[in-house]
Structure 1
Amino acid sequence: MEIKLLFLSTLVLLVCCIARNNFDHFLLVQTWPHGYCERIQRNCSIRNYFVIHGLWPVTAKGKAFLSRKRKRVNVSDTIGRGNLFKDMRYYWPGLTKTDLNLWEDQWFAHGSDSPLVPLDYFQRTIQLRKLVDLVKALRDVGIVPRYKGFTHHKSTYRQGIMKITGHNNTILKCYSSKRGHLLSEVMLCVDADARNFIDCNPEEFQQQNCGPDILFSKVKTM
């Protein structure tokens, strides 16, 4: 009897661990180039709009989905040279590496862990990005990027973004500098089909590292 109970207990723990590592939904991760480039302090390509970092499959708690099925793909062959390629060069540029290297790395690190085939992964990421103009969303609540600007409470950032996503799905990431907490990335929760925005689970907001007041900054040379 004790052996059976031990076996059942082990089986339950194994099932729980597997469940925690199961794919649940996506995070659309966008980078604010000015905040990112100020943090890395090296050659970096600046854009005045949010660019895609990646579309990341995650567990229900927002943790990276763990898989051993990762494989590389020839992105050039996958996306061709048509409108998708043009959109990716605009919305998904490499800030410190070539565009193609960034796309290939994001597919290998994240896309290949998702249930999407490569073409769908890239197409849906672009479609989601086109739905959200974060610079405009923040400007509509009075947040404008400046080098010597004013800080705004993180709740104002989230309220502005919520108006365009329709969901409580905004996770803010910052770079802590001498000037304060500079906005670096915005992560938005997306459904399992990578088509619609959804509310984030409460545990996911623990990934935020910004203080209460955030600076939407431009680098000094711009």
Structure 2
Amino acid sequence: MKMKLNFSILIKLAILQYLSVLCIAEDFDFFYFVQQWPGSYCDTKHSCCYPRTGKPDADFGIHGLWPQNEDGSYPQNCNRDNALDEDQISDLTSSLQKDWPSLSCPSSTGFRFWSHEWEKHGTCAESEEIDQHGYFEAALKLKEKANLLQALNNAGIKPDDEFYDLDSIKEAIKDATGFTPGIECNIDASRNSQLYQVFMCVDISGSEFIECPELPKRRCASKVQFPKF
């Protein structure tokens, strides 16, 4: 009788834990999908280290997929016990190394970067549909769907160290994706305002771009440099 009672308690605890995960997953309004230009990252940090796999392609790299609230707040570190398991994303590793590279020093495989993004942001989106594998797979698909570099190239905006109108950059991305992006710039050692990060908003399923309920408040000059990489 005692064994049956204990088993019943365990089942109830498991159900409560499952429901708590669902509540966490719904406790935000949308995602920011953030991509960064590697040339600007290296200028921003004054130095950068290429991954152990070599210099990444001259393309936007994923920074993260971040749960966000319309009031500007955001959840973070929602489940510190759920560390990223490398085996769960082993089939995505080559794509992550290409599309989500780490440029921080010291040089790494990227796993430390991915672990940080999962633990800080991904655990707050965890649900029946979005587990560790689903979180990273969703980000990879969003990058392919946005295709930022192609969108800018089609508008004659290229990473050639030239300066471009900020409004033209936003318009090119909106024309390609259907939605207005948020743009973050950095200042390099020569005091140039550079195209650094692009924020796109995504629904809570992590699959569809939406118009941003709240754009990040980032300052940029009216003309920004698109640096070479």
In the TM superposition, 1:102-181 aligns within 5 A as 102-115=113-126, 116-147=130-161, 149=162, 151-168=163-180, 170-177=181-188, 178-181=190-193
2:49 to 37, 44, 49: 44
Alignment correspondent of 1:192:
204
Rate the CA distance shift 1:71–1:146 in 2: closer, same or farther, 3 A. farther
Specify the code of the residue in structure 2 equivalent to 1:63: S
2:39 to 17, 29, 34: 34
C-alpha offsets along residues 153-180 of structure 1, whole Å, 9 cap, x if unaligned? 2111111111221122x01011123242
Match of 1:145, SS state, is: coil
**TM-score, normalising length: structure 1:** 0.79
C-alpha offsets along residues 3-56 of structure 1, whole Å, 9 cap, x if unaligned? xxxxxxxxxxxxxxxxxx941110111010000101111232253000001110
Whether the 8 Å contact between 2:78 and 2:120 is mirrored in structure 1 is no
1:58 to 57, 68, 71: 68
Task: Tell me the CA shift for residue 63 of structure 1.
Answer: 3.3
In 2, the alpha carbon distance for the partners of 1:158 and 1:143 equals 11
Task: Tell me the CA shift for residue 128 of structure 1.
Answer: 0.8
**TM-score, normalising length: structure 2:** 0.77
Task: Tell me the CA shift for residue 208 of structure 1.
Answer: 2.1
Match of 1:26, SS state, is: strand
2:28 to 20, 23, 27: 23
2:94 to 82, 86, 92: 86
Alignment correspondent of 1:217:
227
Q: Give ranges in structure 2 of 5+ residues lacking alignment.
A: 1-25
Whether the 8 Å contact between 2:79 and 2:119 is mirrored in structure 1 is no
C-alpha offsets along residues 181-218 of structure 1, whole Å, 9 cap, x if unaligned? 111111110111000000012x424x222121111112
Number of residue pairs matched by the alignment: 192
The runs of 4+ residues in structure 1 deviating greater than 4 Å are none
In 1, the alpha carbon distance for the partners of 2:35 and 2:101 equals 11
Task: Tell me the CA shift for residue 69 of structure 1.
Answer: 3.1
Rate the CA distance shift 1:89–1:61 in 2: closer, same or farther, 3 A. same
Alignment correspondent of 1:4:
none
Alignment correspondent of 1:95:
103
Tell me how large the CA RMSD over aligned residues is: 2.0
In 2, the alpha carbon distance for the partners of 1:63 and 1:145 equals 33
Whether the 8 Å contact between 1:61 and 1:204 is mirrored in structure 2 is no
Residue identity (%): 29
Task: Tell me the CA shift for residue 68 of structure 1.
Answer: 4.3
Whether the 8 Å contact between 1:32 and 1:183 is mirrored in structure 2 is yes
Q: Give ranges in structure 1 of 5+ residues lacking alignment.
A: 1-20
Alignment correspondent of 2:215:
204
Whether the 8 Å contact between 1:172 and 1:208 is mirrored in structure 2 is yes
Specify the code of the residue in structure 1 equivalent to 2:98: Y
